[in-house]
Amino acid sequence: MKKHVLSSLGLFLLLLSVINHSYAEDGYRLWLRYDQVQDPAKLKAYRQAIQEVVVPGNSPTLSVAQQELKMGLSGLLGKPVPVSQKPSQRNTLVAGTPASSALIKDLGLGDKLKTVGDEGYLLLTANKKGKKYTVIAANTDIGVLYGSYHFLRLLQTQQDISKLSLASAPKTKHRVLNHWDNLDRTVERGYAGFSLWDWHKLPTYIDQRYIDYARANASIGINGTVLTNVNANALVLTEEYLKKVKALADAFRPYGLKVYLTARFSAPIEIGGLETADPLDPKVQAWWKKKSDEIYSYIPDFGGFLVKANSEGQPGPQNYGRSHADGANMLADAVAPHGGIVMWRAFVYSNEEPEDRAKQAYNEFKPLDGQFRDNVMVQVKNGAIDFQPREPFHPLFGAMPKTPIMMEFQITQEYLGQATNLVYLAPMWEEVLDEDTYAEGEGSTVAKVIDGTLNGHRLTGMAGVANIGTDRNWTGHQFGQANWYAFGRMAWNPYLSSEEIAEEWIKMTFSNQEELVEKLEDMMLNSHETLVNYMTPLGLHHIMGWSHHYGPGPWIKDKHRADWTSVYYHRADEKGIGFDRTKTGSNAVAQYFPPVAEKYGNVEKTPEKYLLWFHHLPWDYKVKSGRTLWDEMALRYQGGVDSVRQMQQTWNALEGKIDPERFKHVQTFLEIQEQEAEWWRDAVLLYFQTFSKRPLPEGVEKPEHTLEYYMQLDPKFVPGI
């Protein structure tokens, strides 16, 4: 029988490809592909080790774990794997908690289980009474589910499972996606179609995609989702919409995914009929308390609020002469009785133009350290400007020891080529997490700020601005999936390397075939540096197109505030280029702890990747290569283009080894990326050449058009606006 099924499978896979092209591999399955293990030895070992699945208990979360194991293993092993109520075979997979599974209780894992807490799990091999058990054990149902995905991942990546002894627990508590999704289904900075949330048909219609979304998040340990844009609409807090939010929360709950909302600070006025939103006004406080009670009456495990206040036109406590702490604390008090939290964004800059925008968040928030309630986290972007292709770490990390600081990464590629550029972001995130703040002496890395170990915080978290939309492949670019994946994995463990995450993802998403893994890994790991080179090498920043941030726009000037222009940031003139943030300039470097301030304050010690971020330098400044700054810059732009072409070669050589629809998709997107890289190189170099007055060095291709041509380009309807 077994043999027959096997041959059927092979035959049918062949048939399937002929019969129905609508079932093509289009990326919808993400990394949760459970196709049969290709290595015959591994397959045999797995089949022997797992003859049945036992997941006692019937809670919604355990049911999901059971279904996932059954489906996943049946696919990976290429034959239906039976589910039993209790072990009946010699080799059984058992998943559960001491409460749900007698076998797991009997294993006496008490001490070991203590170490993995509320969301962690153990993966073990155990022998008992002549039988062999593969065990997924946890203290909670969600721990079991997380462990189940981990176990499946071991098979997807063809690991040895014969002697498992593995423990895993998340290093941060709140691993949260931020959806900048509007109620009209547009997505701010969304490049993968439109919002998944079909508000009009909620609460009655539950799209299958909501379930698949929750499942994908659970598989990488993401446990929270902020449904709405930080540029918030109070309407979502009305009864009509709360019923819709409840329907989503109910759909997500089995997957351990909590729902959060953005709180529009002026909601008490807009939907509450009050005349003020002053956080110290008792009526306002009462309104938020009542509103929170109402929310929790629908959603007992509601996560809490994310707030963007007094930034880019959003209302906030400063409208009433109050501080960010006053605003955050009022909301925190409203949700505290229900166990909710407030995530208060530090991405602020006043309506008055600051001397250096990079300094403002620090200046505003540092003095508030110690003033926030226990259930408030301050959410800080990785850098002090705004999700640039590369930024030095934000000086707030380490600077507020009494306040839990939450990391905000941007998974959606607002400034990094949007949907069409292949950029694996994990190396950029890793770069930031690894940086040493020196806040408590050497070794005070950003990662330690985030996981709470540096200052002993138990409230910890990481937020990622989602890159997910209605596009069939979820993220617009097939490789955008890797960034969603990497965010979840790094939020679980900020010490994972971008390399190991890439390897996992490639094996799960494409294939375990060695050469393919190696080539794709190489391509992914170099992709961020590649983009930085053709967009903003050597510390350049914020020189992209106006408003939509698409394409180059170093010539942008004369807008209603200087710090929304490009010339404000690059400061190019006939003498040189770069933003002097040392003592002779804005002295932003002084916001860092002394060892860092000294490094960035000294042009010799500053890493070249941040050179023009901190220093204004002459065009003929000699960089480490011995070249002039101008020549080096030009060659970096060219190098970026060359690297994209290298990526194309790598990819094209994989034809036939990757399913055709995804192959073609990425191939075409790489063509677009090449066009855009050339556009960046040509436009930026032509523009800066008007200052440098120097020829392009040898090896740099001649621009296809004139500077005037590039300046008159005016892309319309760039998605994400």
121 or 550: CB nearest a copy of itself: 550
Burial of 685 (0-12, 13-18, 19+ CB in 10 A): buried
Note whether 3 binds a copy of itself by CB under 8 A: no
Closer to a copy of itself by Cβ: residue 15 or 653: 15
77 residue type, one letter: L
**Catalytic residue at 655?**
no
Residue 712 sits in the site that holds a copy of itself (CB under 8 A): no
| Residue 417 engages a copy of itself in binding (rule: CB under 8 A) | no
Task: Report the site for a copy of itself in 111-140 (rule: CB under 8 A).
Answer: none
Q: For residue 479, give the nearest of 269, 669, 287 by alpha carbon.
A: 669
CA 19 vs CA 138, 472, 532: distances in Å: 43, 21, 44
Nearer to a copy of itself, 212 or 620 (CB): 212
Among 24, 154, 167, 286, binds a copy of itself (CB under 8 A): 24
Distance CA 212, CA 404 (A): 32
Choosing from 312, 355, 598, 655, the catalytic residue is 312
2 binds a copy of itself (CB under 8 A): no
Instruction: Measure the CA angle with vertex 514, ends 45 and 642; round to 5°.
Output: 160
Bond from prior residue into 56 cis (ω within 30 degrees of 0): no
Q: Which of 277, 385, 368 is nearest to 331 (CA)?
A: 277
From 188, 250, 353, 386, the catalytic residue:
386
Q: Which of residues 204-243 bind a copy of itself (CB under 8 A)?
A: 204-206, 208-209, 212, 235
Q: Which long-range contacts (CB under 8 A, 24 or more apart) does 508-517 make?
A: 508/31, 508/32, 508/33, 508/153, 508/156, 508/157, 509/30, 509/31, 509/33, 509/481, 509/482, 510/658, 511/38, 511/657, 511/658, 512/38, 512/39, 512/157, 512/158, 513/38, 513/657, 516/654, 516/657, 516/658
The one among 34, 287, 302, 487 contacting a copy of itself by CB under 8 A: 34
- The yes-or-no answer on residue 386 being catalytic is yes
Residues 47-76 that bind a copy of itself (CB under 8 A): 70-71, 74-75
Q: Which residues within the stretch 446-475 sit at the binding site for a copy of itself (CB under 8 A)?
A: 470, 472
The residue from 12, 60, 115, 500 that contacts a copy of itself (CB under 8 A) is 12
Query: Partners of 463 in the beta sheet?
Result: 176, 408
Q: Which is nearer to a copy of itself, 119 or 181 (CB)?
A: 181
Number of residues in contact with a copy of itself under rule CB under 8 A: 57
Is 7 one of the binding residues for a copy of itself (CB under 8 A)? yes
Kindly give the pairing relationship between strand 617-618 and strand 576-577: antiparallel
Residues 532 to 561 in contact with a copy of itself, rule: CB under 8 A = none
Q: Binding mask 651-670 vs a copy of itself (x if CB under 8 A, - otherwise)? A: ----------x---x--xx-
- CA-based end-to-end distance of the chain: 57
Query: Are the CB atoms for 390 and 415 separated by under 8 Å?
Result: no
Smallest gap, in angstroms, from Cβ of residue 309 to a copy of itself? 24
In angstroms, give the least distance from the CB of 36 to a copy of itself.
Answer: 9
Of 5, 441, 598, 622, the one binding a copy of itself (CB under 8 A) is 5
Strands annotated E in 74-230: 83-84, 91-96, 121-128, 131-137, 165-168, 174-178, 224-226
Closer residue to a copy of itself in complex, CB, 172/473:
473
- SS3 of the chain: helix, strand, coil, percent, to 5: 45, 10, 45
Q: Which residues bind a copy of itself (CB under 8 A)?
A: 4-5, 7-9, 11-12, 15-16, 18-24, 26, 28-29, 32, 34, 70-71, 74-75, 79-80, 183-185, 193-194, 199-201, 204-206, 208-209, 212, 235, 419-420, 470, 472, 661, 665, 668-669, 671-672, 675, 716-719
Residue positions annotated with a catalytic role: 312, 386, 414
